[in-house]
Amino acid sequence: MERIKFGLLGAGGFAREVMPFVRRSVAKTLLIPESAIDAYFVETWQPKEPIVNGYSVLSLDEFIQLNGKKYFNVAVGSGGDREAMVTKVGSNAEPLTLLAPQATILDCNIIGAGSVFCSNTMVTSNANIGKFFQCNIYSYVAHDCVIGDFVTFAPGVRCNGRVHIDDYAYIGTNAIIREGTSEKPLRIGKGAVIGMGAVVTKDVPAGATVVGNPARLMEKR
């Protein structure tokens, strides 16, 4: 059997949390044994360390030059940085979504390529999620939500039903987003930032930062 090469871009804290379930997730997706997968951390610059947590660290050029079929994902917190890294990879490797063993994806969901679902996360039903979504530990996406590309959920995000989140939004740790309605989904605009512990009860404009309970626009100083 041809060996599969998988590159996890990034070697920081989040990437080190994701790497332990990479082989199991890739094996389940591709229907191959875990023993047939070579997994690497990949940096877009020259790596500072050759080994991190027992895995080889390659530069992006070194990863691209490997022989055989290559797949990848990106484990960095900023949606904009993820997009830049995806652009650098180009057509040299194929994105794969990664699911931790304790992640749960229920019925009739659409999940974009290159997403990451960490331990104890859930997507319930009829959600439409864009590419390279990042769902950190203990976060959930409820029914009928629509989530754009390169959106980030920090740990413990509670995104209730009929919420629309546009591209590049960042939802902070333990934020709660109130349920919308079928006539008027609650919307979080492109590139918006929801602060840690915020309780979002109404729409958030594109590019805005909101904090507090209830969430309010953060005053500029």
Amino acid at 21: F
Kindly report each contact of residues 109-113 with a partner whose C-beta sits within 8 Å and lies 24 or more positions away, as own/partner.
Answer: 112/149
- Residue 143 designated active-site: yes
Q: How far apart are CA 3 and CA 73, in angstroms?
A: 18
How many helices and strands (H and E) does the chain possess? 4, 25
How many residues are recorded in the chain?
221
Q: Which of 143, 147, 173, 177 is catalytic?
A: 143
Could you tell me where the DSSP H helices lie in 21-100?
22-30, 60-64, 79-89
- Core vs surface per residue 81-119: b (16+ CB within 10 A) or e: ebbebbeebeeebebbbbbbeebebeeebebbebbbbbe
Instruction: Report the catalytic residues.
Output: 143
